[in-house]
């Protein structure tokens, strides 16, 4: 299939980290529908990853699945090299992965658990950028990360999600400022409550009906977001539509942080 004007017409793939999750799947399908071939990673759930790959192929694009733990620096470097060797180019990197965390107040978090999450999420993203920036400097490209509106309105017991993303956001600003000369863009989508992925798994554990109702009541649009809405925002940043946009954060929370 011919490439879409949204993505390069000289080949290559979009790499979606965490593409097997609920939000990750929506992103993979949205990018594929706009003309991108996909490589998606997963940590343990190969069946979910295979289902996403099949959905991508249903859009007429190619799809590969890779198991990957971002904290494994050598594995990240090896996997990125394999993707480049097979596809010639990685033009888009979407970081949609996140650790399955416990919900605790800052004072109750065990230091070992904190280190583990920071290593998997923050150090993991650094490993990814370290492996890919030299490659992407040759022909440019786009980084898009999924962050949280918890950086502007603190969510109780969610430090293990917010703190790593704060560090990743800082790295994204650095990438945008330092790598723009090579045609590399870096942008972020900051999410509120999205009715997909990890949020659904935490219903009844971290979020009860009263919490969800209060969040909806306190938002401007009076509802939860959807995975497809997240994917639309990612597509904008990833594609040529945002070719003069870098170092920016799009807040996608229905007005909850206002």
Q: What is the pLDDT of residues 90-146, one digit of tens each?
A: 999 999 998 878 889 999 999 999 999 999 999 999 999 999 999 999 999 999 999
| Of 233, 64, 42, 68, the residue nearest 144 (C-alpha) | 233
In a domain, 243, yes or no: yes
Provide the pLDDT confidence category of residue 214 given band limits of 50, 70 and 90.
confident
In a domain, 209, yes or no: no
In a domain, 257, yes or no: no
| Of 95, 84, 82, the residue nearest 139 (C-alpha) | 84
Whole-number Å distance between alpha carbons of 96 and 147: 9
Q: Say if residues 15 and 44 touch (Cβ distance below 8 Å).
A: no
pLDDT of residue 241: 93
Tokens representing 210 are 């009263």
Whole-number Å distance between alpha carbons of 203 and 192: 15
- Number of domains observed in the structure of the chain: 1
Q: Which residues of 158-177 are buried (b: 16+ CB within 10 A; e: fewer)?
A: bbbbbbbbeebbebbbebbe
pLDDT of residue 242: 96
Instruction: Quote the percentage of the chain above a pLDDT of 90.
Output: 79
For the four alpha carbons of 26, 31, 37 and 39, in that order, the dihedral sign comes to negative
Q: Say if residues 185 and 143 touch (Cβ distance below 8 Å).
A: yes
The values of phi and psi at residue 192, to 5°, are: -90, -145
Where do we find the tokens 């280190």?
115
In a domain, 31, yes or no: yes
| Of 229, 106, 218, 235, the residue nearest 162 (C-alpha) | 106
In a domain, 167, yes or no: yes
User: Which residue range forms the structural domain that includes residue 85?
Assistant: 13-196+227-247
In a domain, 205, yes or no: no
Provide the pLDDT confidence category of residue 202 given band limits of 50, 70 and 90.
low
pLDDT of residue 209: 77
What global pTM score does this model have? Answer: 0.92
pLDDT at 205 over 60: no
In a domain, 122, yes or no: yes
Q: CA separation (Å) from 165 to 145, 159, 197?
A: 9, 10, 17
Q: For residue 84, what is the domain's CATH number?
A: 3.40.50.720
- C-beta atoms surrounding 202 within 10 Å: 15
Residues 1-12 have pLDDT tens digits of 444 578 877 789
In a domain, 212, yes or no: no
pLDDT of residue 118: 96
């Amino acid at each position: 299939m011919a490439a879409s004007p949204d993505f390069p017409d000289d080949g290559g793939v979009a790499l979606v980290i965490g593409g097997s999750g609920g939000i990750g799947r929506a992103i993979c399908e949205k990018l594929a529908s706009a003309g991108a071939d996909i490589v998606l990673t997963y940590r343990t759930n190969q069946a979910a990853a295979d289902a996403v790959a099949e959905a991508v192929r249903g859009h007429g694009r190619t799809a590969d699945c890779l198991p990957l733990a971002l904290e494994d620096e050598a594995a990240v470097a090896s996997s990125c090299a394999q993707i480049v060797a097979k596809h010639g180019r990685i033009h888009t990197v979407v970081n949609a992965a996140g650790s399955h965390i416990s919900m605790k107040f800052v004072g109750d978090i065990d230091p070992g658990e904190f280190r583990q999450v920071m290593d998997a999420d923050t150090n993991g993203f650094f490993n990814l950028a370290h492996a890919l920036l030299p490659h992407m400097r040759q022909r440019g490209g786009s980084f898009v990360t999924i962050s949280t509106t918890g950086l502007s309105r603190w969510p109780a017991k969610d430090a293990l999600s917010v703190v790593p993303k704060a560090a990743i956001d800082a790295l994204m600003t650095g990438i945008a400022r330092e790598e723009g000369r090579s045609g590399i863009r870096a942008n972020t989508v900051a999410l509120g409550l999205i009715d997909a992925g990890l949020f659904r798994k935490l219903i009844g554990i971290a979020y009860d009906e009263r919490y969800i109702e209060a969040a909806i009541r306190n938002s401007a649009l009076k509802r939860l977001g959807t995975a497809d809405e997240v994917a639309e925002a990612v597509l904008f940043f990833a594609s040529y539509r945002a070719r003069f946009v870098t170092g920016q954060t799009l807040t996608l929370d229905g007005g909850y942080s206002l």
